[in-house]
Structure 1
Amino acid sequence: MGRFLNRLVLAAVLISAVAVGASPGRAQSAGPLVFAAASLKNALDAANTAYVASGGAKATVTYAASSALAKQIEAGAPADIFISADEDWMDYLAGKGLVQPATRRDLLGNRLVLVAAADSKAAIEIKSGVALDQALDTAQKGGRLAVGDPAAVPAGKYAKAALQKLGAWDKVQDRLAPAENVRAALALVARGEAPLGIVYATDAVAEPGVRIVATFPADSHAPILYPIALVKDSTSPQAQAFLEFLASAKARPLFEAQGFTVLSAK
């Protein structure tokens, strides 16, 4: 029964990944299978294309929440590379001996921002005591704040930490619109289903339907880091080469173009 349930959950994650632009499965590629945080989609797609142009084998990338992907690797999903949107979920797998420690490195950094619809007139200063509950009502009576699920999704965890540090959490915790990943939270704002949302700066850049209202102070939350590592049971001979490419100077401008800070580039 446990194995059957694991397969059902894996199927659900892969379906969710398709919704944010993934192409699960390995039939069309001899390259590695990469499990990557949803916020990496635009940049990683560009890097994958560049890698193929340089003579490498195309990677198959599944995008979803880091939490969901880590759980699937734990359940036996055949990933070769894992890229998390926070240290916690990489640590989770490392603690279970499911990644290759020598290959782990911090690949990228990001920033946390407050977004509204592109045509919104919202003007909010993010500081201690910020009244986001009032801003929500001003924008849309009874409106909700779109975030990645704070219980598991890295972007939601960063958002909760920042709101707690700024003294705003108690007033908005019952007014959240929690989403399965940060791109889903972004979509809620772009579609007008939530007047405000907290996402990564790179997500805001990728979505013309929103605008950045304010950036959260860097000291209001832990540093936003994207660690990368080979999965312990990786079987792809291309996996190490693709990981090295992502951490190389050749990939740097592709990540920077999407607003990421590159932390590992030779």
Structure 2
Amino acid sequence: MTVSGASVTPDVLDGLSLPERVALLRSRMAAVPSRGETASVRIESSDPDPVRSDPIRSDFGEAEPIRAVRQRAVLPVPSALIDVLPHGGLVRGTVASVSGAGSLLIGLVAAVTGAGGHVAVIGQPRFGILAAVEMGAQLSKLALIPDPGPDPVEVAAILLDGVDLVVLGLGGMSVSPTRARAVVARARSKGSTLLVTDGHWDGAELRLDASVHGYDGLGTGLELGRGRLRGVRLSVCARGKAMRPRTVRLDLRSENGRIEWHAEEREQNPLSIAVST
């Protein structure tokens, strides 16, 4: 078994009690240096099932399950989106795509810069800076390149060298599979994330699509369309190569001068309540 580069051979574990084995493995894992905002722990095993629920005894003598789940270093996202993403954030070293309502893209940028990460936005002359600030973005961590010239993909590839998140507006263009693979390899080697929008990118690991399904504050009846916009209701669908589509409904509400993200509360099914009681 290999724990993030630190190997523990079976002969080392021979002769140790179960609590001693657990303590040894924990000490080896604690000694592994972390990289980025989140620690990346990789456990490789010959077990064909990567998720195990075999109970073991902890140091306190209580049975607890071990779940050897592959984790990957990620960039932060708005908290309401964590559960819909397979790794709880934008995976470093990958390419993802975003389409639909612009609030989603702005929220992703705000989350990364708000946590101290650096972001470059390419080919998005109408990027909502004010909305990003209201969502918590730090402008000192944000670089805007509204007009990257005839080859925005090359500009993005260069910026992957030193920026945590690169947002690339394709302007309706389609990137060839050969070139896409080259940029993906670069992102992987640098540990940066590329987020493409307004075009087609073959082989994106994650695809996010946002659509507006309501507003708050625009009045009803004869007053419909009048008033101050207080909130937007979004539906975000996440699709990926190794995941089933997941959809979450979100409320973006203005609270104390800041736009906050909230997962929409769903009413519990009365039948399930009756069954549970």
TM-score by length of 2: 0.23
Q: Larger Cα Rg: Structure 1 or Structure 2?
A: 2
Structure with greater proportional strand content: 2
